[in-house]
């Protein structure tokens, strides 16, 4: 098969769409002799006749009609490649499934996903709001936000920042009960935490605070509900500081102490990363989180 110069095909499409050599020259900023020479070179390279030269002008032969359709598709593909290289996304219609902790899904992702929908309106979003880890290898989600680095080699991950955890109580609670005098003194206060306390208890004990499950007067598997109970004045609870610090009805306890800091990892299956839609959403969320948690 003969090797073709792409510029000859571009000139051919211009001649067909303009209806004449002169019209194509005006459209492309070239000259009529150049267009004529390009048509002769293209016909010679292919060994076919593309036009019938008549008194009324150039008329496409059946072979010319077939070549025009193919050359036009090549031109459209060339434009798409140029747009992609320039970072100008075309419509990437379809559904993306994202998994995130309840806290991130409630207080962090809404503004990010709203911004995403404004620039990519044809992407539909399914959000799994759960502190249970979705299995990306089983395609339970396309993208996941996790507070730990995945160990599976089949997954790719990007650390986008870290969240600090703070201790908070409502002003009403402090007015009724006073503030704890020290971190160790919190065992004498009403505490709110998750239902499964193994990691939490171990964290307290590593900090020198010997505490038991019975010390927590309210336990719930929902971090959103836990925070609502703090706001209601039930007791002292924990949440990431970028959420807690925005709430004027609570007081941050022991702000000079770092209670905990958790990394944020954005994760996807390696094969899905080749999807333009997944890559677009992955990069968008990564950029937004990196700005927020830099």
| pLDDT at residue 112, as a whole number | 94
Minimal CA–CA distance to 160: which of 280, 292, 276?
292
**Domains, in order of start, for the chain:** 6-85 (1.10.10.10), 94-144+268-292 (3.40.190.10), 163-262 (3.40.190.10)
| pLDDT at residue 109, as a whole number | 94
Residue 277 near residue 160 (C-beta atoms within 8 A):
no
| pLDDT at residue 86, as a whole number | 40
| pLDDT at residue 83, as a whole number | 44
Minimal CA–CA distance to 142: which of 6, 274, 39?
274
Q: Does the reported pTM lie above 0.75?
A: no
| pLDDT at residue 203, as a whole number | 54
pLDDT in tens, the chain (294 residues): 456 778 888 888 888 888 888 888 888 888 888 998 998 998 888 889 988 887 777 888 888 888 888 888 887 777 666 545 444 444 578 888 898 988 899 999 999 999 999 999 989 999 988 877 665 555 678 888 888 887 776 778 889 889 888 889 999 999 999 999 988 888 889 888 876 555 555 555 555 566 666 677 788 888 899 999 999 999 998 889 999 999 999 999 988 877 778 889 998 877 666 678 888 899 999 999 998 887
| pLDDT at residue 89, as a whole number | 40
- HEC profile for 27-44? HHCCCHHHHHHHHHHHHH
Is residue 144 exposed (0-12), middle (13-18) or buried (19+ Cβ within 10 Å)?
A: buried
Provide CB contacts within 8 A for 282, sequence distance 6+: 143, 158, 266, 268, 273
Minimal CA–CA distance to 258: which of 203, 193, 221?
203
Residue 264 near residue 162 (C-beta atoms within 8 A):
yes
């Amino acid at each position: 098969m003969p090797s073709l110069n792409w510029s000859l095909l571009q000139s051919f499409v211009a001649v067909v769409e303009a209806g004449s050599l002169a019209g194509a020259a005006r459209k492309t900023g070239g000259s009529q002799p150049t267009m004529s020479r390009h048509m002769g070179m293209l016909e010679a390279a292919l060994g076919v006749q593309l036009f019938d030269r008549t008194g009324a002008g150039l008329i496409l032969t059946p072979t010319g009609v077939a070549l025009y359709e193919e050359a036009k598709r090549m031109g459209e593909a060339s434009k798409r490649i140029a747009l992609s290289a320039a970072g100008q996304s075309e419509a990437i219609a379809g559904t993306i499934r994202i998994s995130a902790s309840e806290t991130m899904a409630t207080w962090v992702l809404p503004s990010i996903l709203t911004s995403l929908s404004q620039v990519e309106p044809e992407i539909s979003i399914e959000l799994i709001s759960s502190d249970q880890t979705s299995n990306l290898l089983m395609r339970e989600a396309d993208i996941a936000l996790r507070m730990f680095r995945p160990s599976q080699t089949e997954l790719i991950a990007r650390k986008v920042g870290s969240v600090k955890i703070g201790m908070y109580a409502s002003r009403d609670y402090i007015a009724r009960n006073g503030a704890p005098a020290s971190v160790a003194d919190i065992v004498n206060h009403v505490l709110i935490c998750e239902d499964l306390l193994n990691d939490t208890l171990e964290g307290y004990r590593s900090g020198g605070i010997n505490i038991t499950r019975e010390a927590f007067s309210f336990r719930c598997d929902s971090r959103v509900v836990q925070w609502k109970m703090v706001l209601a004045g039930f007791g002292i609870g924990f949440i990431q500081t970028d959420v807690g610090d925005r709430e004027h009805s609570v007081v941050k306890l022991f702000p000079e102490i770092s209670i905990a800091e958790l990394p944020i990892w954005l994760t996807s299956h390696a094969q899905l990363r080749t999807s333009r839609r997944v890559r677009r959403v992955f990069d968008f969320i990564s950029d937004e989180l990196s700005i927020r948690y830099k």
